[in-house]
Structure 1
Amino acid sequence: MYIEFIATTIEDALLIEKSGADRIELVCALTEGGLTPSYALIEAVVSSVSIPVNVMVRPHSQSFQYSPDDLSIMKNDIKIISSLGANGVVLGVLNEKNEINQIYLEELLTACEGLEITFHRAIDDTPDPVRAAEMLAQYPEITTILTSGGHGDFSTRMQTIHQMKKACGDISILVGSGLNKDNILSIHSELNTGYYHFGTAVRKNSSLIEGVQLDKAKDIVNMLKI
């Protein structure tokens, strides 16, 4: 069982490590879906915890379609994130058809040497997440796909995740979005991916802007690591 929690501050990160979670996804601007955090925050978190820290690489929240200038910024961010000692990066790029932008993706991958790579929930905005997962399986550098199974009702998304698991080869499917202590056991029973990602479920008042609450984080860890 592998559990990842989102951190937006060093305080979040320290509590996440204390909870027994396996990995931190470090972002800023959680209200915008998560953007690239400051270099100072990355450095502080990486130097303060012993569990892996994967850092969001997302320059803005307008869309997952990026300009050449955006791409250049993302590549530079990745190089700096690597130099700061992070375990990995979290990224995703789409084209004007909302399909994965392979040209941009391949450029980003060249900057990611030595880093774990998670392709984030941009995949849920593609017309066919299963086909997109199959395409990502062509890239051995990609270790993880973060997904909620696209859009639609619960049963449809669960079926999509099952199909993505079959399509993506050795890539781990990290299930996220809307997971909480009330539904995680039933979702795990249905999917059994073993990789789960939590955001507001471990925050005070389930808020996007309040900090991680240790007892909520511990409750989820204890539920899944019995």
Structure 2
Amino acid sequence: MLLEVIALTPEDARVAAKHGADRIEFVSAIEEGGLTPALTFIEETAAECAIPVHVMIRPHGRSFLYSEADLERMIRDMSALGKAGAGAFVLGTLTPVGTVDEEKLKRLLDAAGDIPVTFHRAFDEARNLEEAFGTLVRYPQIRTILTSGGKPSVLDAAEEIARLVRLSSGTTIEIMAGSGLTPASLAGFVDATGVRAVHFGSGVRQDGAQTAPLDSVRLAAVRAVLGGRERGRDA
């Protein structure tokens, strides 16, 4: 099972890689939901980190509606961050009525080139999650949807996550569940939903605080739970 961990600094990335993360989602301004990080952080992390570094592309935290100037900035950031070693881009676009903004999405996918894309939790603000999934699945470049099932905490959306996991079966998209997971809640959630990829932020930080350093004990606990689920499926 895949474990993705949010990194705010290169040190976060080093700790996550050492203690069981399969990949990093690198962001800045986590208190705004995550914005595009500094180029120098990605250069440093990509040079040192043995696991993939996925990079947030988000110019502001106001919404997932983007102006032409926003879009141009995102495309410039993607060009620079791709050269710096980004393994994937994490992005999302919506229209004012809550559908995926395909016109802007296509331009961002074109800018990404051969680099894969995760559609982030803009997905959770779509007017209908299955409708949004049906749109995104038409774009093979989108490999992952990060979602809390439309709820503030994914723990309140187990049925919706299970439905999305079933919907994604046999497609090119993997459903990755995040927001609100903890080491203690993880086993039951994975068993209830069948999800194969999980995303952790504050749940693996010291005292569960959003901007605190990563907690190696919590990371190890999450990795142990996921390892146990893998062994159970292989048995």
Q: TM-score, normalised by structure 1?
A: 0.96
Structure 1 gaps of 5+ residues are none
- The amino acid across from 2:164 in the alignment is M
1:87 maps to: 87
1:193 maps to: 195
Given that residues 131 and 167 in structure 1 are in contact (C-alpha distance below 8 angstroms), is that contact kept between their aligned partners in structure 2?
no
2:143 maps to: 143
1:208 maps to: 210
- Secondary structure of 1:118's counterpart equals strand
Tell me the C-alpha RMSD between the 2 structures: 1.5
- Secondary structure of 2:157's counterpart equals helix
C-alpha displacement of 1:223: 1.5
CA 156–214 in structure 1, closer or farther in 2 if over 3 Å, else same: closer
C-alpha displacement of 1:208: 1.1
1:120 aligned onto 2:120: yes
CA distance in 2, matches of 1:167, 1:65: 26
Given that residues 175 and 195 in structure 1 are in contact (C-alpha distance below 8 angstroms), is that contact kept between their aligned partners in structure 2?
yes
1:102 aligned onto 2:98: no
1:9 maps to: 9
CA distance in 2, matches of 1:127, 1:222: 36
Structure 2 gaps of 5+ residues are 229-235
C-alpha displacement of 1:162: 2.5
Which structure 1 residue ranges, 4+ long, deviate > 6 Å from structure 2? 152-156
Q: TM-score, normalised by structure 2?
A: 0.92
Matches within 5 A, 1:149-188: 149-151=149-151, 157-168=157-168, 169-188=171-190
CA distance in 2, matches of 1:154, 1:51: 25
